[in-house]
Structure 1
Amino acid sequence: MKTSTQEVPQQGGMARRQFLRYAGAGAALAAGAITMSSCSKDRKGIENDHVDLGSGDIAILNYAYALEQLEAAFYTQVVQTPYSGISSAELSLLTDIRDHEIAHREFFKAALAGNAIEGLTPNFSSINFADRTSVLAASKAFEDLGVSAYNGAGAMIQKADYLVLAGKIVSVEARHAALIRDLISYNSFIDSSVVDIANTSLEISRTPAQVVPIANQYLTGKKLAIPSLGIY
């Protein structure tokens, strides 16, 4: 199923003042992001049908923006076409998650301003949106991927302000992940697939080189290039 990553719900969506808070914060960071790399606008083009995320912190912000585009598009579809037998409580929770993901997406778009990559085109054809099991399994996969992606990119962020914001967003994504796991199976909010329980009890992380190929499975047309960070 193809959809637009930039759709914003017209009813029951994020309050306008909430969006403005995110957009305003993003605009405040935009100047810093733009001056970080004078060549970043050139780097955001397409090479071999891949979207170049850029380099340095610009790449990390675009990387996060790309993932939030996917999540926002997924939950928008979930709410627009609820699965069979969905309860009012589940629909309310999934709507809240949708609103969070849209807010995250719009925040990164505003922060990147002219350095933002274009809107991506997701392909969710592997997901049966009419089936609860399929939807929640996909939701779990997206949330776990997002948390591990933020954790893996954290050490690569150079600007302290961006690191703080990434930490705040990943904590929300982790709450989503725990909630979805409990919807699948009560009290299963954590296991060894996401936390190294046997050793450090720390969340498992993934590098962009590990995350991008997974995310690209849910994109049609232009795919993401692995960002050039000069670190891994």
Structure 2
Amino acid sequence: MKTETDLTNVNVNMARRSFLRYAGAGVAGIGLLSVASSCHKDHNVAPTAGVTDVGSGDIGILNFAYALEQLEAAFYLQVIATPYANMPSIELAYLTDIRDHEVCHREFFKAALGTSAIKGLTPDFSKIDFTSRTSVLGVAKAFEDLGVTAYDGIAYNIQNAAYLSIAGSIVSVEARHAALIGNLITQGNFVSSDQVDTNGLNISNKPSVVLAGANAYLKTKVSANSFS
């Protein structure tokens, strides 16, 4: 019989393989992996003691995304491991799908960055009541909205076309998550004024704003000095 750890590992491996196929590992994905693995972090700004900086250039952007995906994956893994009280089966199915997406996003960036990846981050979920639907969905909305605004706020800095393609593929999935979570919180509210502006465009945020929100749930603090 498979243990809970075995099942988690199976889910991680399946999710990663699915995303590599989805991202086009046979074409652009392989180029992304080989180029990223051959690069090294380039810090143009002196790092802050005790804080992990993502670096600069395209590798810095990938590390920025990797940090956020680590946080989201850890959150949804906990949500599914300890479902909130009376979680309906349909919500369990939705949140399980989101967990699998976030895990494969995390694993993709980890593999793509290779030795250039920042270290694994330690989350701090002490402010979250995982037994409460309101608490869990509220944080889920905050994380999904943060992810969308993060990609939209930094994508213009990307130089490598393959990286830009992957970022576009991921942010579109994150936006689907954000819409679903919003609708779970308030039926019919799949998009709100804090997600999309009056021009019908996704709201974006600078990395410094994004990380201020993310660091509230991380014991390992992260900075993006080259992009602030």
TM-score (norm 2): 0.87
Match of 2:216 in 1: 217
What code does the residue aligned with 2:166 have?
Answer: L
Q: Aligned in 2, Cα 1:103/1:76: closer, same or farther, shift over 3 Å? A: same
Aligned to 2:185: 184
Residues 2-21 of structure 1: CA deviation (Å, up to 9, x unaligned): xxxxx977259637454235
Q: Do 1:59 and 1:227's aligned partners in 2 also have CA atoms closer than 8 Å?
A: no
- How far is 1:163 from its partner? 0.6
RMSD: 2.5
Which residue in the other structure is 1:112 paired with?
113
TM alignment of 1:1-232, pairs within 5 A: 10=7, 14=11, 16-22=13-19, 25=25, 28-37=31-40, 40=41, 47-197=48-198, 200-220=199-219, 222-229=220-227
Q: Counterparts of 1:225 and 1:17 in 2: how far apart (Å)?
A: 31
- State the aligned residue count: 218
SS in 2 for 1:14: helix
Task: Give the AA of the match of 1:10.
Answer: L
Give aligned-pair identity as a percent: 52
Distance 1:214 1:117, change over 3 A: same
- Which amino acid letter does the alignment assign opposite residue 66 of structure 2? Y
Q: 1:9 to 1:201 in 2, by over 3 A?
A: farther
Distance 1:17 1:102, change over 3 A: closer
Take 1:34 and 1:84, find their aligned partners in 2: how far apart are those partners?
43
| 1:28/1:111 contact within 8 Å kept | no
- Evaluate the alpha carbon distance shift between residue 13 and residue 182 of structure 1 in structure 2; reply closer, same or farther with a 3 A threshold: farther
Gaps of 5+ in 1: 1-6
Rounded Cα–Cα distance in structure 1 between residues aligned with 2:5 and 2:152:
27
TM-score (norm 1): 0.86
Deviation at 1:30, TM superposition (A): 2.8
The letter of the residue matching 2:226 is S
Taking the aligned partners of 1:111 and 1:27, their CA distance within structure 2 comes to 9
CA–CA distance in structure 1, aligned partners of residues 106 and 70 of structure 2:
6
Gaps of 5+ in 2: none
CA gap of 1:219–1:16, structure 2 versus 1, over 3 A, is: closer
Assess if the C-alpha contact under 8 Å between 1:23 and 1:110 holds in 2.
no
Task: State the Cα distance separating 1:123 from its structure 2 match.
Answer: 0.3
More helix, by proportion: 2
